[in-house]
Amino acid sequence: MEELKQLINNSAYTVVFTGAGISTDSGIPDFRSPGGLWSRLAPIDFRDFMASDEMRVETWRRKVLLDQEIGKPQPNTAHYAISQLVNIGKVNKVITQNIDNLHQNSGLSED
């Protein structure tokens, strides 16, 4: 942790990249680890999604089931810590592949 703190303090421009792992403490399962979503459901390829009405229906069915499974997750300590670092000017950008809005719900703007 001390090394990370020094890196951030000495950086002229800091970008934080996040993925599914940051949201697991908020109750959202990740995709690739044992017990993750892909071990329970095979991913739907974008080409298949675009080519098949059936695959689009299945995608939305899964989204509804996932929303029911996870309920209304809240940002966790990591989301709030990153938000604080942005607010005090230590982090310049946050880039995520997540679609859970937990970064935004922790106080980050969508910019």
Residue closest to 80 by CA, chosen among 108, 40, 99 = 108
Q: Do 62 and 42 share a domain, yes or no?
A: yes
Tally of structural domains, the chain = 2
> Domain of 106: which CATH number?
3.40.50.1220
Q: Do 68 and 87 share a domain, yes or no?
A: no
Q: Where in the sequence is the domain holding 9, given as residue range(s)?
A: 1-28+76-111
The total number of residues shown for the chain amounts to 111
d(CA 22, CA 80): 11
Taking residues 82-89, what's their average pLDDT?
96
pTM of the model: 0.76
Would you give the end-to-end CA distance of the chain in angstroms?
27
Q: Do 40 and 55 share a domain, yes or no?
A: yes
pLDDT tens digits, 19-70: 989 999 998 887 777 777 777 788 899 999 999 999 999 999 988 988 887 7
Q: Do 94 and 108 share a domain, yes or no?
A: yes
Question: What is the largest distance, in Å, between two alpha-carbon atoms of the chain?
Answer: 52
